[in-house]
A and B are shown apart, each in its own frame.
Chain A
Amino acid sequence: MLTLSPQDIQAIGLSLKVATTATLIATPLGIGVAYLLAFGTMRGKAIIEGIINLPLVLPPVVVGYLLLLTFGRHGIVGKALSNLDIQIIFTLTGAVIASAVVGFPLLVRSIRIGMESIDPAYAKVARTLGAGWWDSFLTIILPLSVRAIFAGMTLMFARSLGEFGATVILAGNIPGITQTIPLAIYEYTSTPGGDSMALTLCLVSIALSFTVLLASEAATRTLRKR
């Protein structure tokens, strides 16, 4: 019963690839945005925060549709990219973008909360000790928020593994190209007799998510010990 078809294995591989890429690309940006939200004093902070958090509350399908409008052949970004012969929709890149946008608020929220718990005086002390802005950011703020950054990355990775709504609209459900685990499960459930195959992938999904949680817990514990 618990056997995986080559297509399933491809789906698992794609899922991991999409989630990893989306998380790695989003992390530097997430750290920057979280820093601005935690320590910045600019106007309109609430509005920026609202826009970033929007994908968290919108139905993923809506996010996917908005992305399709943006990256589609007639979209603002899509048009520019198609001149460069780059296509986003129905590609793995599209799946990565969909996952990145949907998971981004979780990443930023986690890092921001971590950064807000850092006493701003530490950075000030570092400055008076001769450290420039980047120096104090890299040696004080970043190490002190490393746990929060890691927690945010885990959260985003897990969310990306489960991403369905935005992905199916922007990247479609093409086996071997954009079909990740959730999309494969969806296809099995809508095919007669696909129940046991769906269940197998469900178990894989559970195992993957659980591994991520355990790994994150273990990593947090080692970081705390340091």
Chain B
Amino acid sequence: MQLDVQLKKQRGDFQLDTSFSLSGERTGIFGPSGSGKSTLMNLLAGLTTADSGHIRLDGESLFDSAKNINLKPDERRIGVVFQHAHLFPHMSVRKNILYGYKRTKTDNRLIEPNALFDVLGIEPLLTRNVITLSGGERQRVALARTVLTCPRLILMDEPLNGLDENLKFQIIPYLNRVFSEFRIPLLFISHSMLEMRMMTEEVLVIDGGEIKQHIGTESLAKTSWDTDRKGYTNLLSLGKSTPHHDLFSYRWGNTALILTEPGLVEENLFELDAREIILFKRHPEATSARNLLKCKVKQIYMSGNRARVELECSTSTLIAQIVPESVRELGIQQGCNVIAAIKASAFRRIF
């Protein structure tokens, strides 16, 4: 996918003025509310018209003010999944899902509905009434409805926002499966760093109607200090666990991690706050922490009285957040070896 955008739009006091090119398959548009994310999405989908500029997708002009081109939303083949699923209330789940599919040219129907239903686990929902679906189910149905039109690009506007706080991330594995299985380019709009890291490879940071940065998602997460009160969060994708006394052991690269939480399915995502990792210069004789990992320091980032130490452990990376005084006292520098101690209970399940 190749998307070239240069747009200007004045809306009251707010001005959107962006220019960017994208070729990545999974890109995020990241910014606080009111930064112009949704305006940009509406312009790309053709739901509102820009004052000037152009949008080109894979060489085709969707909008060009100079050439007077402005394709209608139904001609753009850009799918949109809105914040609230907006399932049509007067149609059954099945009719909702097939609404776009029926309107897609036979040549463009590249996705077999039943294959998609399997991936999204939608089969049991098909006969249900739309109003009886839960928030997560509604979003899955809305996604299926959009994916079946085989769009050239899917825009997702804060799709996790309306979902129950405890369950919202359960939809992530479904999303990941759909986008990797059917290879549809994704533009994911959100103000949550955690969601960005789970869904995208690179991000456009937008603020005040302007693109401020175009950066890899992980690099942004490692170097941003104030977007999240929690600081940096390590995300660990782990497989099925095996019992280890009354705890649970997971394979992680070529070492093992001990957690208090069991992993009953193949895909488990845990978060680990960078401040929960304690670094030792030498292997401690005894400690209550269940995980002692031999690591090599890859890099150190400083900001004020905080320091992030990027560690290479077996085949993966972890980030520990400590204070500069500790960095000096322990003599931590690039390339030196340390031991990271992590409590079994420090890992929190995301899904």
Asked if B47 lies at the interface with its beta carbon under 8 angstroms from chain A, I say yes
Asked if A127 lies at the interface with its beta carbon under 8 angstroms from chain B, I say yes
Scoring B residues 45 to 80 as 1 if CB is less than 8 Å from chain A, else 0, what string do you get? 111000000000000000000000000111001111
Which of the segments B2-10, B96-104, B215-223, B267-275 contacts the partner chain? B96-104
Give the residues in chain A near B26, CB-CB below 8 Å: none
With A122-B86, A135-B103, A140-B88 known to touch, is A128 a contact of B80 (CB < 8 Å)? yes
Cβ-defined contact, B86 with A131, below 8 A: no
Least CB separation from B42: chain A residue: A124
- A-side interface mostly: helix
Closest Cβ of chain A to B55, distance in Å, is 15
Cβ-defined contact, A132 with B86, below 8 A: no
Cβ-defined contact, B99 with A126, below 8 A: yes
Give the residues in chain A near B84, CB-CB below 8 Å: 121
Q: Interface extent on B, as a size class?
A: 20 to 34
Least CB separation from B148: chain A residue: A129
Closest Cβ of chain A to B126, distance in Å, is 18
Least CB separation from A128: chain B residue: B80
Task: Tell me which residues from 140 to 154 in chain A have a Cβ below 8 Å from any Cβ of chain B.
Answer: 140, 143-144
Most A-side CB within 10 Å, residue of B72, B100, B146? B100
Cβ-defined contact, A132 with B88, below 8 A: no
Taking a contact as CB atoms closer than 8 A, the residue among A128, A131, A226 that contacts B47 in the complex is A128
Taking a contact as CB atoms closer than 8 A, the residue among A121, A135, A139, A140 that contacts B82 in the complex is A121
Cβ-defined contact, A131 with B103, below 8 A: yes
Cβ-defined contact, A130 with B78, below 8 A: no
Cβ-defined contact, A130 with B74, below 8 A: yes
A sample of 12 more A-B contacts (CB under 8 A), given A127-B46, A130-B77, A139-B99, is A121-B86, A125-B86, A127-B74, A128-B47, A128-B73, A128-B74, A128-B146, A129-B145, A130-B149, A131-B103, A143-B90, A144-B89
Binding site for A on B (CB under 8 A): 45-47, 72-74, 77-80, 82, 84, 86, 88-90, 99-100, 103-104, 145-146, 149
Binding site for B on A (CB under 8 A): 119, 121-122, 124-133, 135, 139-140, 143-144, 226
